[in-house]
Structure 1
Amino acid sequence: MDSNLFWIVVLIVTSAFFAIAEIALAAARQLKLNILVDEGSENAKLVLDLQAKSGAFFAAIQIALNAIAILGGIIGENTFTPYLKTLISYVYEGRFLDEVSFTCSFLLVTSLFILFADLIPKRIGMALPEKIALRVVRPMMFSVMVLKPFVLFFNSLSDLILKLCRIPTERVDIVTAQDIVAIMDAGAANGSIPSQEYQMIGNVFELENRSLTSVMCVRDDMVYFDINDTHADISEKIIQHPHNFYLVCDNSLDQIVGLVESKALLKQVLAGEQARLSSDIVSKDVFYLPDSLSLSEALEAFKCHTQPIAAVLNEYSLVVGLVTMKDVMSVVVDGFTGVLADQLIVKRGEGSWLIDGSAAIIDVGRCLGVEEFPDSDSYETLAGFIMYKLKKLPKLTDNLLFEGYRFEVVDMDNLKISKLLVSKVDA
């Protein structure tokens, strides 16, 4: 009894080791392991190598666990059955005493293995995957080497079956933006990432989903100089609309001549001259961006150009807006709260909003709690959504219902939708 009991304990401990190693090595996260490798951890590199070629690792574990389970059943039945038979005989001495004793012995051994050799070790491995993986990786590599003949045989068969089924035989870890966002959410939840940094990182990922037109100054609001503007015209525009840079055009906004910096005009005035758009201060190096770019692509384009301001053109090469490097970078720092600050979306009361027609549809959706608008690739603004749904150019009081909200046109500027009243309606 004592000898058999000793071997059962040995088998349970050995099985627990393989169980905890299996879970820990499989669950260890590549991001954390890469950080440990950069810090000089040799064991972390071994774990990554073992994960990349996991066939031999899993084959060794399954061989060991199945062999241990069979041995445990044989030894356990011989160890506990006689003693259980004696105990059971005090209350039952029928013809099925041997069968009942064997069943109880089987249940006892199975319970011990489930609890101490499988369930508890695997829960520990899931709780501390990287820490345990670093400790068990070398013993596991030694086990793979000891069982190499069996590993090669079974691993080759499994590889053949997987290839026939066209299933990859090696693990490939690709870290996506969703993975990073999930890690950020977890870090923000437990307080390891400050809320301001968390918000900024989230803003960076949103750059790819937002179009350039969502932050640009639209054509109707652009302030520019005509090449023939007088000193009085230039002074009035600067006083009413102070900016660092102005486009210089020839009679039309679509005929851009160049770009002028306001401090160049200031130098003329300080020198006692009248402000004028002379060729020596008007730069011909105008930066253009297509309106189809995302904010991420626009940021990359700004990095390759010296000008901090760009004219935005549509597919017909017409100017539709103006954007600066500051506009794009402010998204990273402040998010899209600037849209609300500009009073494009104004909450009037409970369940009621006054929204500018030029408000980005993604901001409107975020404000109203609408997850998705139909065919959102066909328009960028709330005005575009209204025209898409009505299939006509709207007029005052035109309205529609969508996702429990009533959208009503309350103000028009000629043919442009200026303001809409959005109200929540009962089902």
Structure 2
Amino acid sequence: MELDLTGRIISIVLLILASGYFSMAEISLAASPKVKLHQALENGDKRAQQVLDLQVKPGPFFSVIQIGLNAIAILGGIIGETVFSPYFEMFFRLFLSPELSSSLGFFCSFFTITMIFVLFADLIPKRIGLNKPVAISLSLIRSMLFLIWIFKPFVLMLTGMSNAILKIMGLPIKNETTITSEDIIATVGAGTEAGLLDRNEQEAIENVMSLEDRLVTSAMTTRDSVIYFGLNDTFEKIRPLIEKNPHSKYLVCDSTVDRIIGYVDSKDLLCRALENEKFSLKEKGLIKTIAIVPDSLSLSEVLETFKKQGRDFAAVVNEYALTVGVITLSDVMSTVMGSLVQTEENGYIVQRDDGTWLMDGLTPIEEVERTFEIEKMPEEETYETMAGFMMYMLRKIPKLTDKVDFGGYRFEVIDVDMNRIDQILVTKLPKEPDQPD
């Protein structure tokens, strides 16, 4: 009797360990991030590819898991009930009838073995698997592949049946889940909430992810702000322009800004100016070739153009070959870094002492949404800047004092130059009486 009881207890312990193995393998494979698995693969761990392959086609893996877990559950119930029932029955017979003691003994034995299996064969192993999914999935993958090979006939049968049912239901039989930019942004947001990332770092990462969606026109210097030299301009005409508008590069055009010849570097002109040399833009080697990009490119495509051509300065033209602006590598990087590099002098949005904000008409919509925590502007795909937003909402060319109320704020035009909105005053609107705080 003693040996029989010991053997059954050992059997239960072994079943719990086996069930824990299957539970841990199941949850760790499902929870292993593809990014970390790819990193492990790049570091030379070939097991990562085996885990990735099972994630893409998990049918055989889950078939083995279910075979193991269900077989263990049945055996555990059979063995466990006979281990504890006699002792519970003996206890209840001390003060209850034999029939009631037998029923209560069976129930208590069933409850005890169920709790033991739930706790030690399911919950704890799964918690362990969730804590370190990649490490555990890598350590168990080869043993799981061996079990898949051992149970191959059953696996083929179960996989075929489950695939057929999924096809009838119109569901995919392969896991084609990929990581999207929304997933990355959500992960970054969670990291910020957990204190792992700074708000500015979160902003920079989100800006990088948005480069594919933002057009070049959202970051360029617009046509009316472009300083350019005519090919025939003299030293006397160029010098005051440089003193008044210091830039690192200037367009050189033939008569108008729409006929671009190239650009000159301000340091080349500065060297001549310091030596009191008069110069002509027609000097050989002074004018450099400039990249020309269409206004339909995204900022990520502009970066790729800079990389391929080895340049950091480009003119932006529209479908009619008219110049709409210029963009530099610094403009793109300022878009990425956002408030990390912006100062009060070069920022689009400046908060005043009275709690209002002054905003440039060329402020990108993405920056407005982020600053004022506005989820989405109306029909924002039809414009890129706050000037465009004001025109869309007013359905006309805005004039001084025109205003729009949206998202709990009032946007009022306070400076217009030749039909172009220069500045907008932003005021937070008071909450309605029935609005919650």
TM-score (norm 2): 0.87
Preserved CA contact (<8 Å) 2:261 2:289: no
* Aligned-residue offset at 1:373: 0.8
Q: Corresponding residue for 1:358?
A: 362
Shift of 1:284: 7.3
Q: 1:56 is aligned with what amino acid?
A: P
How much has 1:265 moved relative to structure 2? 4.2
The residue that corresponds to 1:241 in the other structure is: 245
Equivalent-residue separation in structure 1 for 2:269 and 2:46 (angstroms):
63
Partner of 2:328: 324
Relative distance call for 1:150 and 1:316 in structure 2 (3 A) is same
Q: Note if contact 1:339-1:345 (Cα within 8 Å) is conserved in structure 2.
A: no
Code of the residue aligned with 1:395 in structure 2: it is K
CA 362–341 in structure 1, closer or farther in 2 if over 3 Å, else same: farther
Structure 2: distance between partners of 1:415 and 1:52: 56
Q: Deviations over 1:39-87 (max 9, x none)?
A: 3334334333333332111111111111111122122222222221111
Q: Partner letter of residue 144 of structure 1?
A: I
8 Å contact kept, 2:47–2:141: yes
Give a deviation string over 1:213-248, Cα, whole Å, max 9, x none.
Answer: 232112222111123322210121122223333222
Give secondary structure in 1 for the equivalent of 2:352: strand
1:77 matched to which residue of 2?
Answer: 81
Q: 1:39 aligns to what?
A: 43
Work out the CA distance in 2 between the residues paired with 1:401 and 1:193. 34
Partner of 1:293: 297
Answer yes or no: is the 8 Å Cα contact 1:397–1:408 preserved in 2.
yes
Q: Measure, in 1, the Cα distance between the counterparts of 2:428 and 2:192.
A: 32
2: CA distance, partners of 1:188 / 1:422: 28
* Structure 2 residue identity aligned to 1:129: P
**Matches of 1:397 and 1:197 in 2, distance apart?**
37
- Per-residue CA deviation, residues 234-286 of structure 1 (Å, 9 max, x unaligned), is 12112222333322223322232333334554566678753222263464733
Once the two structures are TM-superposed, the CA of residue 391 in structure 1 deviates from its matched residue by 0.9
The 3-state SS of whatever aligns with 1:252 is coil
TM-score between both structures, scaled by the size of structure 1: 0.89
* Cα pair 1:24 1:129 within 8 Å, conserved: yes
Structure 1 partner of 2:132: 128
Q: Alignment partner of 2:278: what SS?
A: coil
Residue identity over aligned pairs, in percent, reads 44
2:262 to 248, 258, 261: 258
Aligned to 2:319: 315
Cα distance in 1 for partners of 2:404, 2:142 equals 67
Instruction: State the alpha-carbon separation in 2 of the partners of residues 273 and 2 from structure 1.
Output: 103
Runs of 5+ in structure 2 lacking a partner? 433-437
- Asked whether 1:403 is paired with 2:407, we answer yes
Which residue matches 2:64? 60
- C-alpha distance in structure 2 between counterparts of 1:205 and 1:25, whole Å: 28
Q: Is the 8 A contact 1:265 1:276 kept in 2?
A: no
Aligned residue identity for 2:125: P
Q: After superposing the two structures, state which structure 1 stretch, 205-214 or 152-161, moved more.
A: 205-214
Matched residue count: 427
- Classify the secondary structure of the residue corresponding to 1:41: coil
Distance 1:195 1:177 in 2: 18
**Change beyond 3 A, Cα 1:338–1:318:** farther
Q: Identify the range of structure 1 (174-183 vs 26-35) with the bigger mean alpha-carbon deviation.
A: 174-183
> Against the structure 1 CA distance between its residues 84 and 276, is the aligned structure 2 distance closer, same or farther, given a 3 Å change threshold?
same
The CA deviation at 1:190 is 7.1
Between the aligned partners of 1:365 and 1:88, the Cα distance in structure 2 is 69
Where in structure 1 are there 5+ consecutive unaligned residues? none
Structure 1 residues 337-346 or 351-360, which shifts more? 337-346
Equivalent in the alignment of 2:346: 342
Code of the residue aligned with 1:416 in structure 2: it is R
Q: CA offsets, 1:19-42, max 9 Å, x none? A: 122212222222222322333334
2:205 is equivalent to residue 206 of structure 1: no
- 2:435 alignment counterpart: none
Q: Is the Cα–Cα contact under 8 Å of residues 291 and 314 in structure 1 kept in the other structure?
A: yes
Q: Letter of the aligned partner of 1:123 in structure 2? A: R
Q: What displacement does 1:337 show?
A: 4.6
Quick check: 1:222–1:322 contact (8 Å CA) kept in 2?
A: yes
